[in-house]
Amino acid sequence: MKETKRYKLAGYIIVTNWYGHKGFKKLIIDTDEKGLEEIKKDPRQDYINYGVRSVDYAYFEVYPYTVTVNENTKTTTESLNPTETIEDGKRNLTPEEESVLIQDIPTEITY
């Protein structure tokens, strides 16, 4: 039996592009312990390579999960509630931008 602990980070980033325009993207990041520690140290990263001038804000809720692999089965056990929150920067969305962000479809990445 092999057991692996991993993490899903659900959240979003707010960015400024090279023309001074603001943008944002919902993200679901799948990572291991090392990746989680790197994100905690520097949460304001360009995770999907927008090529932005700056990442102004990052917010993530951390959901740990465990993958157990036996001879013939693979079982995933996920936490239904976040165990911690990672937040860095200045959140500067207008009410209109907030409503668009809420409807945004998240991009899933592996970090």
Average pLDDT, the chain: 93
0.85 exceeded by the pTM? Answer: yes
pLDDT, tens only, 2-37: 999 999 999 999 999 889 888 889 999 999 999 999
Amino acid at 48: I
- Whether the CB-CB separation of 16 and 46 falls below 8 Å is answered with no
SS3 at position 18: coil
SS3 at position 80: coil
Which residues lie across from 106 on neighbouring strands?
none
Amino acid at 107: T
pLDDT, residue 49, reads 82
Phi and psi angles of residue 79, each rounded to the nearest 5 degrees, phi first: -80, 135
pLDDT, tens only, 42-87: 999 988 887 789 999 999 999 999 999 998 999 999 999 999 999 9
